[in-house]
Structure 1
């Protein structure tokens, strides 16, 4: 099943979940599962609330709820950048369930390469040295969907956009995953997708922001209230309004840590 399949959300909400393994590199309990409903099956990621480690700077709500809220925001903007994501009961209690995305092996959208060796058009983000002391550059693709994902990170105030969270699906789509520490009311933006810093947002991004602002003035605000605080919803609305007033990708704040560590 593809993330764009119209039946994906129903499968995630009502399907029978069977745990098949655990993603051991994740900092919170992240379970790889099979899910089946009426003869239709797929793979998914299940993050139970019971497996979340408390975070002093994200004391409200749950990480699972923030994952769902981020998905709802992306959908409201008309950006299919996050795989279908729901909040439901699972084998070990309530949690976030997200459709698994199969990726193209060797087709990474974020990479660390020697200087001047990255593909034409790719965007350099950070100059550094590798473990051998040789010069290296963190770069990412200039794919238009990656640009929209960079804009989404700004909107949801993503505090942890690592390179491994940017997926190139076998269906050709670009997807972001792992949004549990997003949507805080204070500025916490940390991302590897700084390649467009200071450049104007394109028309498609601006149109999506306008659509999102209208949704936040309607039912979306109430829907998000189930996952976020009132202050966080207001801050989300303010970030969208500021981007529309000055439609430019922001530059990193030198007083903050703008790139997550580790990068992948």
Structure 2
């Protein structure tokens, strides 16, 4: 009997196929990712002769968060994937909700980055300005009384992710959550701390703060606004995952981005950069 066919990271148009594999396939737990704060299990999923690596985050393995009492983090991860798919940018690996060996949880296609997550995207430079091709984030202490400038690449893939994070109100965009795939695509992972009704945006991607949104981003946001309207398919699916107030807040953030036409700036009422940043 031949071994199951391995499924690579899918293009946006292939989302339905990988979702079926993740939803219907048999999950085999291979180990635990120890450095994660919640239970994250590395698995293989197999279905009808195809298989893929994936991560499984059971709800029962989540650490309770005082400021996210409504629902669980797994449902927010699924919601972030649905919004990402609706943008057409495909920035979040295929993510489903399903039963697994340890109960209901989020199952997400594993992306083999092939290099360190920060490679070519983030850097510390001992300079006052970021340099060509880079955007400044903040100054950071690096020891012995020295500071360095934290910068990220002026990369259209990152810029799209910054827009997505603003829409879903991502409270934890760390460097380690950026996965550049060998095929040139960029993925963002770990979206459990999202969709809060209050401004929780914490990210390393502040380099475009206050700058005008690209025409592409405005077109995507216009389309997203329509898909979030009452009765629209995306709104209906999100309503099963987040609260009515959280869904209303998503609509409000999209409307605000379109109205102001710029990338958001730190509010000053909440730490703007996650800790640890990587």
Superposition TM-score tier, normalisation by shorter sequence: over 0.9
| Aligned alpha-carbon RMSD (Å) | 1.5
Question: For residue 140 of structure 1, what is the aligned residue in structure 2?
Answer: 152
1-side partners of 2:129 and 2:25: how far apart? 46
Question: For residue 222 of structure 1, what is the aligned residue in structure 2?
Answer: 236
2-side partners of 1:230 and 1:255: how far apart? 24
Question: For residue 5 of structure 2, what is the aligned residue in structure 1?
Answer: none
Deviation at 1:119, TM superposition (A): 6.6
Deviation at 1:196, TM superposition (A): 0.3
2-side partners of 1:60 and 1:231: how far apart? 10
Q: Are residues 184 and 34 of structure 1, via their aligned partners in 2, closer, same or farther at CA, if it must alter by over 3 Å?
A: same
Deviation at 1:115, TM superposition (A): 2.8
For structure 2, the residue ranges without an aligned partner over 5 or more in a row are: 1-7
Question: For residue 205 of structure 1, what is the aligned residue in structure 2?
Answer: 217
Asked if 1:235 is matched to 2:249, the reply is yes
Q: Deviations over 1:23-74 (max 9, x none)?
A: 1111110111111111211111110001011111000111000000011111
After TM superposition, the structure 1 = structure 2 runs for residues 40-189 of structure 1, keeping only pairs within 5 Å, are: 40-106=50-116, 107-115=119-127, 120-189=132-201
Question: For residue 3 of structure 2, what is the aligned residue in structure 1?
Answer: none
Deviation at 1:257, TM superposition (A): 0.8
What TM-score does the superposition give when structure 2 sets the normalisation length?
0.91
What TM-score does the superposition give when structure 1 sets the normalisation length?
0.95
1-side partners of 2:126 and 2:35: how far apart? 26
The correspondence for 2:10, drawn from 3, 26, 39, is 3
Q: Secondary structure at the match of 2:55?
A: strand
Deviation at 1:118, TM superposition (A): 6.5
Q: Are residues 135 and 171 of structure 1, via their aligned partners in 2, closer, same or farther at CA, if it must alter by over 3 Å?
A: same
2-side partners of 1:92 and 1:166: how far apart? 27
2-side partners of 1:15 and 1:229: how far apart? 29
Contact 2:129 2:136 in 1 (8 A): no
1-side partners of 2:126 and 2:39: how far apart? 35
Q: Are residues 111 and 18 of structure 1, via their aligned partners in 2, closer, same or farther at CA, if it must alter by over 3 Å?
A: farther
For structure 1, the residue ranges without an aligned partner over 5 or more in a row are: none
Aligned residues: 264
Q: Are residues 118 and 42 of structure 1, via their aligned partners in 2, closer, same or farther at CA, if it must alter by over 3 Å?
A: farther
Deviation at 1:114, TM superposition (A): 3.1
Contact 1:110 1:166 in 2 (8 A): no
